[in-house]
Structure 1
Amino acid sequence: MLDPAPPSNLRLIAIPRLAANGRWRVEAMRALSEPMLLWVTKGQGRITIAGSTRGYTANNAVFIPAGVMHGFEVGPQVFGTAVFFGKSCDVILPRVPHHLRIRETHAQQELNITLDAILREMNSTTPAHDRATRHYLGLLGVWLERQVDKAGDEVKRPDAAHRLVARYSSLLERNFRSGMGVGDFAGALGVTPTHLTRCCKLACGKPASALLQDRLIFEARTLLSETRIPVGQIAGALGFASPAYFTRAFQQKTGKSPSAFRKEP
């Protein structure tokens, strides 16, 4: 029996390229439909995962499962690789996010060698390159599992505030198109809007309303840049009360009207 092929939409992309068409594509809060691993080899910045913000530096590996809301800074001095595993990936991967600081040189080298091997086999035309890609991808999963296990004693259990914000970010990701406001989300979580906002500021430095607005405007930018759906329909699909209200919110966040943003190259 032949080994199954690697995911058809597996991609390895240099981190600077992620922001090539606008830093909003990586900095805004959003979730992906596939798992992702960020391997930072140079530079530093901040990353927000499930509503909690922390700094990242060189030799940090950040794993983000599908469906987890996140956003991160990509400055001009940040380098590394982003691995997008694809929706069909059946390699064993963690079920929760992990931010790993890889201090051991041999572990850093092992990851670099594995990523280079995956990329080489993906771009190869030699026999069995698909199988080789899949096996190296499996080794990447093993490396990640071992590093998560090694870091287990260092990981702090999130406090009540961070757990609430994680629940909020998950609920927001599932319902941001519904027209729900912060008060609606707070009610669904069994807390007051004031308490939810206080916890969000503690966890990521932003109020709950900013996380909601960030997610909505990211989706709007994506639809405007990648589809020809009329602005009014986008407004309705994202739960805005009217196209005019959507336009005001979009312009306040981006400095441009939806139509002007769409015309940009």
Structure 2
Amino acid sequence: MVQDFVATPDEFKRVDDHFDLSKIYGRYDFISRFGSFGSLFSTTDVALWGSYRKAANVSISKSGIAQISVRAPSPKDAHDIALFVLQDTIAHIRDLNQRERDDYTSAAKSAVADLEKAVSEDNRALQAFRIDHGIYLPDTYYTALMEQTTQLVLKRLDTSSKIAGLQGATPNSTAAKAFQSQLRIIDTMLAEVQEQKKRISAASARFAELETQHETDSRLLGEARTALLQSTIKASQDHYYIHEIGYPSQLNGAEYPLRLLSILVVFVISSLLLAVARPTR
């Protein structure tokens, strides 16, 4: 991957934008410089890319270690370009890892976000229900109404028994009339409790639906968060590793161009030109 990335047109463009390679490669001697014999007198971007690929090489050892070699007219140029390419390669590998993590976790993240939104909407619906009906838990309230109904029924039976006893012993008893008034109050309270029970029964079904939906979404949200954690762990286990073993060196001794080779090339070309130009008898 490192080998392929360094030679890509994209990386060449970034290096060229930062260093102006045509200007740097133009400082070679007449034979090697860009725009002369070195690039077959071409100054196109394709020719410059070719010169870059010749100057920036990556070799891979059997153990998987990549070595970046950069040639330039001066040690400083070679060092600066090598450092730039190394840092850009590391950044590219890290970007690939981040994209892979995003690919692994995108579906789980989307599911978590959707379910978090659903749970939030469920909470708002439950809150709106409680505000509209003035009840926090309909089941608990209904149980309280049932207990109140039982107490009122028992109270009514007791009052009715007292009225019957008083009327049997003393017709037109004043006390019996007082208990009858109390009985009417109990009947009114029973009627009100029955109406409240009917209202709560109708609302309980809607509350149960909202509560069930909230419980379901909350459970699914927990499962989605677990899936997201597992995806994150999987992404961390399956990614590209790159470690910087050595820092780009700045050697002062020139390795290129080979002066003797350049002189020999000039000599051969000159000899050929002289041989062609010499008149024949």
TM-score range, shorter chain: under 0.3
Give the TM-score normalised by the residue count of structure 2. Answer: 0.21
Give the TM-score normalised by the residue count of structure 1. Answer: 0.22
* Larger fraction in helix: 2
* Larger fraction in strand: 1
